[in-house]
Amino acid sequence: MPDFIAQAQERIRSAAANDTPLRIRGGGTKDFLGGEPLGDLLDTRLHSGVIAYDASELVLTVKAGTRLAEVEATLAASGQCLPFEPPHFGAGATVGGCVASGLSGPRRPYAGAVRDYLLGVTLIDGRGECLRFGGQVMKNVAGFDTFRLQAGAMGTMGLITEVSFKVLPTPEADETRVFEADAQSAIATMNRLAGQPLPLAGAIHHQGRLKLRLAGNPAAVRAAVARLGGEVLLDAPAFWTVLREQKHPFFAGDAPLWRLAVKPTSLPLAAEDIDELIDWGGGQRWLRTARSADDLRTLATACGGHATAFRQATRSDAFQLPAPAVMALHRRLKATFDPAAILNRSRLYPDF
């Protein structure tokens, strides 16, 4: 058994026996997200490296401490990618943090989310036991997809040690077109186009400009461009990377940043005290505002969604609590995977 695994198991067992919380951390690029990290550091970065990669089968298995940049370089050498475009937020971003945070980039509405590309996960639970869920091929993924619960769990159900992903070929063509439009018209356009056979790979609106990204087969992209028209966006791939990494001017400054996941058809949320960037074809709204958490969560609920305090805002309740019945299920899962509640305590919910 690898030394890292054995040592991690022993640390977790000791922590559970002594009610000592452990702070699971890779590159630390997402330390800002969720509740304040608590407890003794359990660093995953020594557990890194590609375990298996079969480009012909579109399957990659990697240790959780491996840097995302290394994974993406390995895939790029074979003309492949992680289709959900995980944000890095720093050079040290790791695979474990990618899965635990559950964050996806601009292609998410059109290509799928992190959990959609998970084939299997190996983890150490709060009892110090190694558990393996899923497999390395799609046909092995049957029954209750427990491994997909790790996406977005913020490490509260186990120390992820290995991950198997389904990967896809990198789109051969990638172009972005820009249109002048107010927010309401842009939302209507994004929703109308989402239901049509177009190679959409991104759709955002901010400050009167709608940007539509088209990626895939060159012939399909050319046909879509001819149909839609619009102004070409130069150096488009760099723009979407800047957006994904929150280096776009909208994200600059100290104003609290909120993320609202809502129905894509929801009306614009911008107001005198709210600056809004509309992403994911209308389904993700980034808001810069000093409004209270209660106000923003009421607003999100009215739009059929939920609100997350993303940056420079309250941390004690960063994630909105789900409905009571769903929360009860969350608690049962937490008690099953981490009965002593030592793993990433309070990162997801205050009493979790």
Max Cα-Cα span within the chain: 65
How do residues 224-246 score in pLDDT, each as one tens digit? 999 999 999 999 999 999 999 99
How do residues 156-191 score in pLDDT, each as one tens digit? 999 999 999 999 999 999 999 999 999 999 999 999
If you average pLDDT over residues 186-213, what whole number do you get?
Answer: 97
CATH fold for domain 3-169+329-337: 3.30.465
Report the pLDDT value the prediction gives residue 315, as an integer from 0 to 100: 79
- CB count within 10 Å of CB 40 equals 12
If you average pLDDT over residues 46-56, what whole number do you get?
Answer: 97
Helix (H), strand (E) counts: the chain? 9, 17
| 351: confidence class by pLDDT, cuts 50, 70, 90 | confident
- Determine phi and psi for 75, rounding to 5 degrees: -65, -40
Tokens of 313: 């805002």
Gap between the Cα atoms of 82 and 73, Å rounded: 11
How do residues 269-323 score in pLDDT, each as one tens digit? 999 999 999 999 999 999 999 999 999 999 999 999 999 999 876 778 899 999 9
Domain ranges of the chain: 3-169+329-337, 173-252+255-311
Report the pLDDT value the prediction gives residue 134, as an integer from 0 to 100: 82
H-only helix segments in 200-345 = 218-228, 236-244, 293-302, 324-337
Gap between the Cα atoms of 165 and 137, Å rounded: 9
What length is written for the chain? Answer: 352
pTM of the full structure: 0.94
Report the pLDDT value the prediction gives residue 207, as an integer from 0 to 100: 96
Contacts 24+ apart (CB under 8 A), 222-229: 222/173, 224/198, 224/199, 225/175, 225/177, 228/177, 228/193, 228/198, 229/177
Side-chain-facing half-sphere of 121: CA atoms under 13 Å: 26
How do residues 253-277 score in pLDDT, each as one tens digit? 989 999 999 999 999 999 999 999 9
How do residues 338-350 score in pLDDT, each as one tens digit? 999 999 999 999 8
